[in-house]
Structure formats: C-alpha cells, structure tokens
Amino acid sequence: MNGGSAAARQRRLTIIVAALVLIAVALVLFTGPLERGSKSDESSQAQTGAPAADSPAKPAASESTAPKPASGDYRGPVPILMYHVIKAPTASTPMAELWTPAETFKATIELLKKEGYRGVTLDQVWQAWNGGPGLPSKPLVVSFDDGYLSHTVTARPILHAAGWPGVLNLEGKNIGKGGLTTTQVEGLIAAGWEIDSHTLTHPDLTLIDDASLKTELVDSRKLLQQKFSIPVNFFCYPAGKNDARVRAAVEAAGYKGATTVDSGVASKSDNPYELPRIRVNGTDSPQTVAGRIRAGSGASGGY
C-alpha cells in the first residue's frame, strides 16, 4: 500500500517536472525573438537620433544600403545644390530662409528626378572631369552644410527613396553632444553619402592667422578621416569666405577642390577651389529650384 502510494507520488512528480521543463522551453522560444526585436528597435532609434515627431517616417533598414553609383558618358558642367536645415522653421527661427520644410524638399527631389536628374557625389564629378568613370546625362549634387539632425532623420530617407546620395559638409564641432552622433554619420556613409570638411568651428577663414587656418583645414580633415575611415577629398568654405591665401592653404591641406556660395553651375574649367553652387532657400518651390538649375543661378548670400 505504502509502496504503491510512493510510486504514484513519484509518477506525479515526474509528470510535473516534465511539464515545467516544457513550459520553460516554450517561454524561451516565445520570448527570445521579442528580446532580439527590442534591441533592434533601440538600434534603429539610436540611428535616427530623434523621436518619431521629427521624422516623416521611421527609416527602414534598407536605407543603410548605398544606391548604385549613377554612371554614363557625361563629363560636362554639374549643378551643386546648397541646403542647410531640412525642417520647417517656426515664427521665431533666425535665418528662416535656411530652413526648408521636409515636404518641400521631398517634392523638389521627386520633381528633379522626374525631369531626368540623377544624384551624384562631388568625388564622382571630380573623377568624371579627370579621366575616371563618366556621369549620367543630367547629374546633380545635393549638398548640405554644417551637420544637422534633419540631414539624417529627414534628408537621408528622401534621397534614398530617389536612389540618390547626398554630400554633407560637416563641421567638426557638430559631431557628438548636441550634434550628429558617430553612429548617425556612419549611417549616412553606409547610405552612400560623401562626407566633406566644413572646418572645425566655422570661422571666417579670411580673418584668422595662418596657424589657426591650418588647424581648421588640416585637423578637420584628419578628424573625419580617422573617425570614419573616409578620404575627405573636398572642402566647403564657411559662409563662402575665401581669398587667395585661404585657397592656397586648402590645396596645401590635401583637398582636391572646394565649394563656395558663389552662384553658378560647376564645370571642369572652373578653379577647383572655387566651385560655385546653387543655394536653395526654404521658400523656393520645386519649380523654382528646377528653374534655378536650368539658369545656373541661386538665391543670394550664404552661411
């Protein structure tokens, strides 16, 4: 009697233990993917660096894939657009003309693509002008100055949808706290963007001494090269301020060329250290931008 009771208890215990093991296995299988998904979401949030309210749409994982470089036989003049912040300004925003609403930027890129333009980088342009691979028949460089959150949150997915790269003229002081994170800049590079130097601190280069000038040019380039393992072949003058001394220093620092705020379409016949751009104001409609490209003229002034 007692033996039978003990055997029954042993069988019940074995069944309970087996059931607990099965439950534990099921929990692991069920919750494991959720934990991995949670980490993926955190990574995505770190990549955008902003809450959903700052972005028209959450960037997809595919946005980290660089578009195939546009190619062709063209080696002529290339318009270079100049943008700053891609976000609608508020009533109290200073220099509001430098803020382009996301909807306007998106509509502009869509119109330009419909008209046959193809996004390229400055490095692609330089190669085409110097015996390398050619460009498509209507190449266009879309450049952004300084390094703002909207460049990765808003501009990147819009350009990615068009299959275009961007060119970011990045200030050294805008990397890290209060600016773009290293991860965000790496995301732009992975998406095919070219990162060029815009100095360390955005000074008027014509007003600083030779030692400070060399620091702004050489150290900003080294910072980007060492931090992101990229060549950094081009430079952008802060507010377009340059003179013969500054241009010579840019060339001595190892840059292949530099962009200004002078209005016009860049060509091989230009001084490579005085390449013009077409500035886009936030109030410019898509049709206005297209007209500026055709005319080779932009809004006045620079920053």
Mean pLDDT, to the nearest integer, of 285-303?
Answer: 87
Q: pLDDT at residue 150 above 80?
A: yes
Please provide the CATH number assigned to the domain covering 74-295: 3.20.20.370
For residues 177 and 53, the model is more confident at 177
Nearest-10 crossing angle of helices 182-190, 2-48: 80
What per-residue string of b and e applies to 260-283 under the rule 16 or more CB within 10 Å gives b? bbbbbbbeeebebbbbbbbbbbbe
Instruction: Give 14's pLDDT tier (boundaries 50, 70, 90).
Output: low
Model pLDDT for residues 240-255, shown as the tens digit of each residue: 999 999 999 999 999 9
User: Domain ranges in the chain?
Assistant: 1-42, 74-295
List phi, psi (to 5°) of 216. -65, -35
* Lowest-confidence region among 3-12, 53-62, 178-187, 223-232: 53-62
Q: How does strand 275-279 pair with strand 257-263?
A: parallel
Among 255, 252, 299, 293, which Cα is nearest to 279's? 299
Instruction: Give 19's pLDDT tier (boundaries 50, 70, 90).
Output: low
* pTM of the model as a whole: 0.79
* Lowest-confidence region among 58-72, 79-93, 146-160, 243-257: 58-72
Give CA separation, 63 vs 143, 227, 241, in Å: 18, 22, 35
